[in-house]
Structure 1
Amino acid sequence: MFEEALLTAPSPGDDPVAGRPVAWHPGLGDWVAVEPCDLVDPRLEAMLDRLAREYAAGVLPVDVDELPAGPELAVALAAFDPTVAGGPDLVQAAAGLERLEAWVAGRKAAVHAALASRPEMRPDHSGYRSVNPVTNTAVEIAARCQMTTRQAENQVGHAVQLVEDFPATHAALSAGVIDLRRARVITDELGGQDAGVRVRVEAGVLPKAPFLDSVALRKLIKQLLHELAPVETAQRHEAARDRRFVAVTPASDGMAHVEALLPAEDATAFDTALNAAAADAKRSDAAAGLPARSKDQRRADALADLGWAFLTARADAATDGGPARRPISVHVTVLFATLAGLDDGPGELDGYGPIPANVARVLAAEGVWSWLRTDPGSRQLLDLGRTKYRPTKALAEFITARDRTCRMPGCHRPARAADIDHIVPFAAGGSTSPGNLHALCQTHHLLKHHSKWTVTRAPDGTTRWTGPTGHRHQRPPEQIGPSSSDPPPC
């Protein structure tokens, strides 16, 4: 913490920072230069002066709990030195940072909601619910902040909901009274309720929310809903069933997360089945003298067995002349040198990313091969290696294999489930050729045509986008498989 407020520097001969404004920093035991921008706001100067007089380095002011969440609390915590503080002050600092984080979340929600309300973020009417100001704003935020469109949609959608439907909860969040976790509990549980019920329950839980954790708060809200709106609660459950899903998200080290939202009875049945399978596997392992697996490992293996068993059953049915079904394929890209065991370069699992060489070899050995010819320098796909399909279908397959994912910045939806879009519209003279085609998921395809997004494609495959606000974003092309070139010399 600065012991003195911003001071005028002494003579150049005595000033270690050559005549610029300085302040004494006791943690460093020296004068430090203060940039001119630090002198602009007199309120900041006064705040520093007051805090400097109240406490020394590493010690929080005694009234830190009374500082409102916002700039003043941020200054106090920025000056706090955790390396020299005692345990009580560290606990207080942690609590202050939680309040400050809540204030930031509230401010961010206000900014996101304001951007989503701007006229330029309103797409033309398309008839699709997914094409709206929230999805349009999310693309702009995702591209500017280097996040996925799904992450941005989650943030922007929640921001609009907070500001428009839950102003009291948003105010509590912005004041640092509750954190973002508890704010989400309130919006998650009450978002689909009738406005009258929502307001009554929100008013009933907000005074208690600062003193409850998120689990206890959710329990209280559910209790009030059952008391105040038993019929609506049952209807809400039916609506929630329609939002059930299963999602796979890549993790590190060749792993992935499987997330599912299911009705409670289905999830309980699934959990019971995995426990039973894990118990059977434990007995089988012991009888066969195999190394012991943990219960978590046996449950995970049982889940994986379900997927592989289903794929095997489909393949057997097709071989035996069973009912015609859409073929299912898992795409793995692996260099020939790796496949032949000449090196251990990673393979690439479509929809996931790099996988270890030994895993890629196993999957390749059990699969059907297709030849992908790539440029060794840029690693761009040049040829799909198939000639038995009609040209239009072959071209669509080429674009899907080349682009891998939707080309909108921040979107990672698989290209195989996306639309093939003309960058320059066909009606405007755009050609149906690789250089003028790219993959866009349905939502972002519609946004491109019904909003103020424009795009061009460079010869190297980079797509350059301009958003409704005028910000410019780039999406580099996908590189197919690992690089086969030797690393540059040191």
Structure 2
Amino acid sequence: MQAYARFAELTPPQRSGITIGDGAAEEIAVELAVSPNTTAKHLHEAQELVTRLPGTVSALTAGEIDVMRAKAVREYTAELDDDQAAHVEKRVLAGGKQENLTRFKHVLRREVIRADPQGAEQRRLAVKAQRDVTRWHRADGTSSLTVHLQPHEAELAYQHINLLAGHATGAGRNLATARADVFMDLIGGKQVDRPSVSVNVVVPMTTLMGLNQEPGEISGIGPITAEYARELAQNATWRRVITDPAGQVLEVSRRRFASPELRRFVQVRD
């Protein structure tokens, strides 16, 4: 990575609109027998990491993190300015590599939201507006549908399909095949017993009260912006969870509390 960055430094662009000199990627591609597109990608990644996130490169050199974690730091901080990125890098690396890559990315995501809560919310709304369903016909004769949703929507949909599929296995169908069949049953309007599914969202009470922008978290998915958490809480059922300052759960209430909006809805409906 340092060698790539050094090579990019020694071959600066001679015209506007590019960050690496003409021919630099092709020169490396010939030596390594890979495509110029691949080497150009490596050059850009290395240049950004070495110049913008030197702490990450140092941690990688010392063996404190691996390449996947280093690339995650670069990817997750791409929309931040240099000062914000340096702040996130410092806080994340101070916490160590975490027990797995997913947990490391959750820590990264939380710190990015904390560093730039308004920007994180704007980016969330931007990608929310790009929700879509796309199809792809494969060469093997099958086809794929890709559905882009908000995280809680995707989790609810998957849990719903998975629970129904669990009761539909057998007769030569495994769980994966049953999920596909259940999906088509739902699309076709077949009457099925709908399972009860839920998604847990953990959010500080101070965030719900609008006192700060501290991130919430969707269990199994990761950190979300404060505004997203408040949005999900509007029509949800609340349960009190008490934690210590480090976030360890001390108590979970047996009672559940309908949110004010849900309570009003039920009262008006009934």
Q: So what's the TM-score if we normalise by structure 1? A: 0.30
Q: So what's the TM-score if we normalise by structure 2? A: 0.49
